[in-house]
Amino acid sequence: MSATIPPRTGPTDGDGLEPDFRIAIARRVGASSGLQRSRRLQDLLLYVSEHALRDPDAPIREQDIGVAVFGRQEDYNTSEDTIVRVHIFQLRKRLKEYFDQEGINEPVIIELPKGSYKPEFVARPQTRVTDAPPPSKLGRRIPAVLWIAAALLAGIIAGWQLRTVKELVAVGAAERLWTQMFANGKPIDLVVGDASLSFFQGIAARDVSLREYELRDWDNLSGQVPDPARRELAKTLLNYFFVPFSDTVAARILGVEAARSGLPLDIVFARDFSADHMETRNAILDGNRRSNPWMEFFEPRLNFRYGFDITNNYGYFRNVKPQPGEPEIYRVQWNTHGFARVAYLPDLAHSGTVLILSGTDVQSADAGARFVTSNEWIDKLRERFGLGRREPIPYFEALLQTDLLMASAPEFNLVAVRRLNP
């Protein structure tokens, strides 16, 4: 690959490029319009760039970045605190924008490969060729259970179309909310959970982080299970595609509302989703973090944060900042009640929408879908925020308590709400 690079004025390293020259490029990127307002992204870029050039053979660890750039404690839990991954995602996007636009004449491109925190300095070819966009992962074969869900969805939509003209013409609170959330020119990915992953975590008695899930190294994960028999079962499970039944129920409910609102919606299995999808599409993340690790990106931005007690086998939401009269922990009480969380917030790049629907248990999971498609409950949400009928609803988080007496969630109540800062 040939490139025009200014004459050397100092020592070079193994790839023939001058380290000081590359740091100068990193500083120009930091001063660009895309990064000049984000000191943290600037610091992150300079930290990883200097680290990579100073010691090219040494790995750059997420924990070290969290401590050096974001002021975290040395023993902080990277599985719970995803601040580094969120900012790396944003930095990767800003780098691409800079070298495609403002830095189009830079002789060297800085890239952040997916799955790595170490930047690469690549000489730009003299003749630039516009790369064809990669094939969408949406084109991959969808598991059979999703086709079943799609068939159920089609049947429900057909039934819905037989409703009276009065019902179809009426524009309710739920439809207005959906238009507000998703009528931004982007299609919607409904990301349904990976039940195989939930089963694996139960067998392995450990959580799987988003980073491990992105790597897709199932043999390595199953190999960490000590017991041979359980290890073989874990390996088998990870090679099958199962969707929680509650997610198919939610898909049916949400698909009806999307059709009513005239919004395009695709069903995507969690393993076929990627952070790149959120650059061009809205996302509805369904399930909980054990079946849908993509929620990990957003947990630090929420007040009610999902957790799972592996020893005692129950899910819960931790109330980070309890208001007067609110408990710190909302945990499922089997055969009594559970909890569901609904969160509406911008995506990582603030260019689209993410809707998160999760529960402490399988039975509670679809309550969130019914909440965001109910005119009655959306009106109650407006009342809690003191909004008029036509005022837009702010980014929010809502906690629902569900009734599990009949091993389902036929009824629920709104127990807490929060405004979310974008």
pLDDT number for residue 300: 93
pLDDT at residue 402 tops 60: yes
Q: If DSSP states are collapsed to H, E and C, what string results for the chain?
A: CCCCCCCCCCCCCCCCCCHHHHHHHHHHHHCCCCCCCCHHHHHHHHHHHHHHHHCCCCCCCHHHHHHHHHCCCCCCCCCCCCHHHHHHHHHHHHHHHHHHCCCCCCCEEEECCCCCCCCEEEECCCCCCCCCCCCCHHHCCCCHHHHHHHHHHHHHHHHHCCCCHHHHHCCCHHHHHHHHHHCCCCCEEEEECCHHHHHHHHHHCCCCCHHHHHHCCHHHHHHCCCCHHHHHHHHHHHCCCCCCHHHHHHHHHHHHHHHHHCCCEEEEEHHHCCCCHHHHCEEEEEECCCCCHHHHHCHHHCCEEEEEECCCCEEEEEECCCCCCCCCEEECECCCEEEEEEEEEECCCCCCEEEEEEECCCCCCCHHHHHCCCHHHHHHHHHHHCCCCCCCCCCEEEEEEEECCCCCCCCEEEEEEEECCC
Domain ranges of the chain: 19-123, 137-194+241-419
Mean pLDDT of the region 182-190: 93
Among 226-230, 329-333, 409-413, the range scoring the smallest mean pLDDT is 409-413
Query: pTM value?
Result: 0.66
Q: Which two tokens stand for residue 376?
A: 């009655």
pLDDT at residue 159 tops 80: no
pLDDT at residue 316 tops 80: yes
Q: How confident is the model at residue 126 (pLDDT cuts 50, 70, 90)?
A: low
pLDDT at residue 146 tops 80: no
**15-61: per-residue pLDDT in tens?**
444 445 788 888 889 888 888 778 888 899 999 998 888 888 888 99
The residue ranking higher by pLDDT, 412 or 147, is 412
pLDDT at residue 384 tops 50: yes
pLDDT, mean over the chain: 82
Is the backbone of residue 59 left (phi > 0), alpha (psi -120 to 50) or beta? beta
